[in-house]
Amino acid sequence: MKSIGPFLLFLLSLSSTASGLGSVVWKGYSYQPNHYTWQDAQSYCRSSTSFPDLATIFTQSDEESINVWEYYAWTGIYKHIYYNYWISSNGVYRNLQPYGTYQSGDAYCAVAVYSNKWLNGTDCDESYFFFCQHNDDNHYTFIPQSKIWSEAQQYCRSYWSDGQHHLATFHTHSDLSSTLTPQDFPVWTGLHRDAGTWRWSTGLSQYRNWAQSQPGNGDCVSISSMSKRMATQNCSARFPFVCFGDNLVLVKENKTWEEALEHCRALSSTSQSNLRYELVSVQPGEDQHYVMNRVMEADTDEVWAGLRFLAGEWLWVNGASMLYSDLPLCPPLVQHCGALSKNNTGSVETKDCSEKRNFLCYSTS
């Protein structure tokens, strides 16, 4: 192994300039209100650099942190294809200027937007939730099924036996605004059934929060926007979805501790030039619990972390505070590097720095 004298001095210098650093682990969720099939939602997320897969939920706290509120819902207002003016599904002309803005092109059907309480024109073959209305009153019913405009219209007309229902037309903007309240609807997650086994689109998690009488026959899993309870769905159904991302990079290459450190520091982001990477540091508690989920994905039983014994003390190479009190005060000469074990001892294990194993990097700006 090459000389590490200057290397040790560099690590000591780095740690002294960043002392007191705490958590470095970040994870988050991004809600997408457009309606996709499960597979298309997965592809959409995987094309993202910040949230590159469908959501994996690890804890109830994670689930509660997913902010699902925006929705789009069809109304019975549409543009006459020949005369280019807006009418309602019961044939009444509507002056839509007070309601919102309308797009050009194929924007022939009006969708209600929860966030701004307006109507927007869009392609009638898009899939959204919808509101039904009785002909003689202003009672509006939200239907959390995803359909194109014509299917939604047919549903309203056929679901009720009285034959007096149609897609909602909203007599006034006040009707529209007061009707657009928080609603409960399904949202795709990354949980799906693969050859009879429940798997997440990315990562490993045993977390489940099934609704009553679930799981059912569907092979893809949604959560409820309000209760966050899980339910199975047909994977070809179209719903909003949640993408997931974190700042950890599990490298499934076997390298020594020093090689792993150099590999992390050589990583770069094509979309965010200010990001730099480091061997991961981890603190006891929630951070370690989450990191251990990533460790379980490794091809080796232990994964290198950024812990090193230098000048008589244990240090994180990024200068994070040392909160583990059970590390040996005088470790054997070769066991001067820290690794996280799939055995999950609750601490960081000391290992021979020349051994080769997978490792975890993290990004930081």
Burial of 39 (0-12, 13-18, 19+ CB in 10 A): middle
pLDDT (tens digit per residue) in 293-343: 999 999 999 999 999 998 889 999 888 888 888 888 888 888 999 999 998
Stretch 265-291: mean pLDDT: 84
Q: Which residues touch 261 (CB under 8 Å, ≥6 apart)?
A: 279, 306, 317
Q: What are the two backbone dihedrals, phi and then psi, of residue 170, each rounded to the nearest 5 degrees?
A: 55, 110
HEC profile of 123-140 = ECCCCEEEEEEECCCCCE
Burial of 77 (0-12, 13-18, 19+ CB in 10 A): buried
Triad 315, 317, 318: Cα angle to 5°: 115
- What is the pLDDT, as a whole number, of residue 18? 39
- What is the pLDDT, as a whole number, of residue 347? 82
Beta-ladder partners of 141 = 132
pLDDT (tens digit per residue) in 165-196: 889 988 778 888 999 999 999 999 999 999 98
Q: What are the two backbone dihedrals, phi and then psi, of residue 52, each rounded to the nearest 5 degrees?
A: -85, 25
Residue at token pair 């597979």? 39
- How many CB atoms are closer than 10 A to CB 64? 10
- What is the pLDDT, as a whole number, of residue 257? 96
CA atoms within 13 A on the CB side of 309: 20
Q: Are 297 and 352 within 8 A, CB to CB?
A: no
Stretch 47-71: mean pLDDT: 92
CA atoms within 13 A on the CB side of 54: 25
Q: Are 168 and 131 within 8 A, CB to CB?
A: yes
The DSSP line for 176-221 is HHHH------EEEEEEEEETTEEEESSS------BPTT-S-S-SEE
Q: Which residues touch 265 (CB under 8 Å, ≥6 apart)?
A: 276, 277, 278
- What is the pLDDT, as a whole number, of residue 224? 96
Asked whether the CA dihedral 309, 311, 317, 322 is positive or negative, the reply is positive
Stretch 26-38: mean pLDDT: 95
Q: What is the mean pLDDT of the chain?
A: 85
**Dist. CA 238–CA 130, nearest whole Å:** 13
pLDDT tier, 229 (very low <50, low <70, confident <90, very high otherwise): very high
More confident residue, 122 or 15: 122
More confident residue, 196 or 236: 236
Model pTM score:
0.84
Query: What domains does the chain contain, in order, with CATH numbers?
Result: 5-26+247-364 (3.10.100.10), 27-68+183-245 (3.10.100.10), 72-179 (no CATH)
Q: Which helix (H) or strand (E) holds 8?
A: helix 5-17
- How many CB atoms are closer than 10 A to CB 49? 10
Buried b (16+ CB within 10 A) or exposed e, 145-182: bbbbbeebbebbeeeeeeeebbbbbbeeeeebeebbee
- What is the pLDDT, as a whole number, of residue 221? 98
Beta-ladder partners of 143 = 130
Query: Does position 13 have pLDDT exceeding 70, yes or no?
Result: no
pLDDT (tens digit per residue) in 246-271: 999 999 999 999 999 999 999 986 66
**Dist. CA 114–CA 176, nearest whole Å:** 10
The mean-pLDDT minimum among 27-36, 102-111, 137-146, 253-262 falls in: 102-111
Q: Which helix (H) or strand (E) holds 222?
A: strand 220-224
pLDDT tier, 115 (very low <50, low <70, confident <90, very high otherwise): very high
Q: Which residues touch 163 (CB under 8 Å, ≥6 apart)?
A: 157
Residue at token pair 């080796």? 300
The mean-pLDDT minimum among 76-90, 107-121, 165-179, 260-274 falls in: 76-90
Query: Does position 2 have pLDDT exceeding 60, yes or no?
Result: no
